[in-house]
Amino acid sequence: MATDKSDVEIGQAQIEWVSRHSPVLNGFVRETLSDGALKGARIAVVVHLEAKTAFLATVLADAGAEVVVAGSNPRTTRGPVVEALKARGLTVVSAPDGDHASWERELLAAADWAPHYIIDDGAELTLRMGKFRPKLYANLKGVSEETTTGTARLHALRAAGKLPFAALTANDARCKHLFDNRYATGQTTLQAILRLTNRQIAGARVAVIGYGYVGRGIALYAKAMGAHTRVVETDPVRALEAHMDGHKVGTAADMLPGATMVIAATGGMRAVGMSEFAHLDHDVLLANAGHHDLEIDVDVLAGLTNDRKETRPGITTFRVQERDLHVLSGGALVNIAGGSGHPVEIMDLTFAVQGLGAHHLVSAKLAPGVHIIPKALDDAIAAAKLKSMGISLSEARSEQEDDIAQWIEGMPK
């Protein structure tokens, strides 16, 4: 007679599935980390705590690092994965089903573990160490940052003279933002919305707020699936790009009325707030695909009504002035809180950047400031991915190269 699997077994199976589909992490990254550079390094991994993050943590631990794992969001930590990591012997300070108060305590527990290096998401642990654990912050040797939001925060710290160590913006690596932000978020955001709502995408009027790589990916996938796409953007260049990509572009006041789905993808806060709520139609779906849980101002929305109810699992409906406004996953990052997160194949690239980024921080002795991984390393990750798919490339022949050297040599001094 079959018996129910334990959380440990479920988590282990999920991590093993990631391992099976991560040829770059299991090949090129493991080979690079086998030089012993990470042995004894204390690394805090603070990314959405699900199976793909767990696998990265195990790869670092296998390379000799001492690893503590925490979640970068209170509503995206998976219980079975936590138990599997603990059974493996890793230190985990986060638990599932938390709130912002418990999450803050977990991050401070990760800080008190006194890491040398952080693989961060949104600079959440980095900022809290700087503010609440300044002595431990002063002892940090490096940070590798996952997101656009965190990258902006690191640049702000540097500009304020409060970044005393080297920080890698993994988000700016081409093998990260060109694939993770665009294709992964585009696919999984819509997957989660459709799974939660059982609604149709073809013919839907989808408004995307923000047209960075995340917003581009969402709009791209929505349009390809038959949606009528609209974009709200404050940056004129990005707005022009959205227009030329075939999306309707304008202000929130112009784009939100008539929309059946509104997806926030700014990486900032309150992209959908008091002023935007006034422009929403009855029965609209509201989803967050950016870093902060506050992209949709759920607290303000709750203050506009006394009538709120769970209409489906993962959907809270607020009754506002005869309109039903449906918030998905409580305003948390919908593709993880309401879905399975990014595809394994994409995270194989992203976490290859993070794993090799940690190695680069330890090995390269970078000066304080914000850095990007070297192009050669970025290229090597892409080459390893192509190789795993059986794809080989030819090299440019000498006669195909620009003749600039001849021009330079022929110029008078």
Q: 86-96, pLDDT tens digit by residue?
A: 999 999 999 99
Residues 40 and 90 in one domain: yes
Distance of CA 231 to the CA centre of its chain: 21
Same domain membership, residue 163 and residue 55:
yes
**∠ CA(27), CA(31), CA(32), 5° rounding?**
120
Within this chain, do residues 79 and 141 fall inside the same structural domain, yes or no? Answer: yes
Both 14 and 27 in one domain: the answer is: yes
Exposure string over 207-216, b if 16+ CB within 10 A, otherwise e: bbbbbbbbbb
What pLDDT, in 10s, does the model give residues 371-411? 999 999 999 999 999 999 999 999 888 888 888 888 888 89
What does R_g of the chain's alpha carbons equal in angstroms?
A: 22
Contact 220/208 with Cβ under 8 angstroms? no
Report whether 328 contacts 338 (CB < 8 A).
yes
Question: Is it the case that residue 326 has pLDDT exceeding 50?
Answer: yes
For the cut 60, the answer to whether the pLDDT of residue 313 exceeds it is: yes
What pLDDT is recorded for position 234? 96
Question: Are residues 307 and 379 both part of a single domain?
Answer: no
Contact between residue 108 and residue 134 where contact means Cβ atoms under 8 Å apart: no
Cα–Cα distance measured from residue 226 to residue 97, given in angstroms and rounded to the nearest whole number:
35
> pLDDT tens digits, residue range 156-187?
999 999 999 999 999 999 999 999 999 999 99
143 and 16 in a single domain? The answer is yes
pLDDT at 2: 46
Q: Is residue 109 part of a domain?
A: yes
Tens of pLDDT, residues 191-235: 999 999 999 999 999 999 999 999 999 999 999 999 999 999 999
Residue 218 sits in the same domain as residue 160: no
The neighbouring-strand residues paired with 87 are none
Are 166 and 193 in a shared domain?
A: no
Residues 140 and 226 in one domain: no
Amino acid 319 reads: R
Structure tokens at 177: 């933002």
What is the structure's pLDDT at 267?
87
Task: Give residue-wise pLDDT tens across range 252-294.
Answer: 999 999 999 999 999 888 999 999 999 999 999 999 998 777 8
Angle, nearest 10°, between helix axes 344-364 and 51-62? Answer: 40
Total domains, the chain: 2
> Can you give the pLDDT at residue 413?
80
The pLDDT value given to residue 53: 97
Residue 409 counted as domain residue = no
**In a 3-state reduction of DSSP, which class is residue 22?**
coil
Is the pLDDT at 1 greater than 70? The verdict is no
Q: Do both 216 and 146 map to the same domain?
A: no
3-state secondary structure of 77: coil
pLDDT > 90 in the chain, percent: 90
User: Do both 290 and 304 map to the same domain?
Assistant: yes
Q: Which domain holds residue 299?
A: 181-337
Q: What is the largest CA-CA distance in the chain?
A: 87
Tell me whether residue 349 is in a domain. Answer: yes
Q: What is the pLDDT of residues 289-310, one digit of tens each?
A: 987 778 999 999 999 998 999 9
321 & 383 share domain? no
Q: Which residues contact 156 (CB under 8 A, 6 or more apart)?
A: none
